[in-house]
Amino acid sequence: MSNPTYFFRECPTCGRQLRIRVAHLGKRVACLHCRGQFDAVDPASLCHDLCEEDHPLLRRAEELLESAAPQNRSDNRSGNPR
């Protein structure tokens, strides 16, 4: 019989470090300390979701940076430090 494999995740409710079986990935689990419920997802995969180029949050950040760029250039030409 093989040993179960675990990953570690912080409980979003109480902040305790939890050891979760890989077999529970994608399922709703409860913290044994505070009974807070959350979806069992590997923290490394959460970062991957945000790192995709077409993520809505990243698209919005790019739009804001582009709209601020002309303003920054005109401030620098007039000698006004930011």
At 67 the pLDDT is: 81
Q: pLDDT tens across 40-74, in order? A: 887 666 555 555 566 676 777 777 778 876 655 55
Domain interval for residue 30: 6-76
Joined tokens for residue 62: 């790019």
Report if residue 55 sits inside a domain. yes
**The pairing of beta strand 17-21 with beta strand 28-30:** unpaired
Q: 28: which DSSP letter?
A: E
Mean pLDDT rounded to a whole number for the chain: 76
Q: How far apart are CA 78 and CA 15, in angstroms?
A: 49
> Would you say residue 82 lies in a domain?
no
Q: Tell me the whole-structure pTM to 2 decimals.
A: 0.48
Strand-strand pairing, 37-39 and 6-10: unpaired
For residue 58, the SS3 value is helix
Query: Residue 36 falls within a domain, yes or no?
Result: yes
The total number of structural domains that make up the chain:
1
